[in-house]
Amino acid sequence: MKLLLLLANGFEEIEALGTLDLLRRGEVEVTTCTLNQTPLTLGAHNIAVEAELCLTELDSTQYDGVILPGGMGGSQALAATQGVLELLKDYNEQGKTICAICAAPALVLTAADIIQNRKVTCYPAPEFIEALGDNYLSAKAHTEGNLITAAGPGCFTDFAKAIMDAVAPGTSEGVFKAALIKD
């Protein structure tokens, strides 16, 4: 299973990089892709990340799913990019995995009009809950059909585990025991 992690300036670093780290520890193949014309992408807290490819170079048929980190600036940029919205609609029609955390479910998934009658979670800001309406579910992470959503930065481990459980069943327990110290 090959996943694509989309990065836009203003992305929430812990949601993107923490999730990426845990997925790669679980041997899930994830490629980073920026909306920028050059590989460098700047996160919400001014952490620069060099993506592996640019959206203009993307062959979306090579991937089985997509991950959308939150962060207001990043989510707004993803939601305003026609190529991203078309990718999401195409992946949704094909039943490919679509993962979104924090602001991304409310801003990007609604812009792509792919939620339909499914429950999703997001950062619990009133404007995001309102944007999702009856589709909103208060949860750390939630999987429904091909959509995997999570609430925010503090839930990136729940998000990564949900993704891993969906795309590489049976691998998350070992990864989380090795990567995270639990009481």
Instruction: List the catalytic residues.
Output: 102
Q: Which long-range contacts (CB under 8 A, 24 or more apart) does 160-165 make?
A: 160/18, 160/19, 160/22, 160/23, 161/22, 162/99, 163/3, 163/19, 163/23, 163/28, 163/67, 163/97, 163/99, 164/22, 164/23, 164/26, 164/28
Q: Cα separation of 161 and 99, whole Å? A: 12
CB 31 within 8 A of CB 24: no
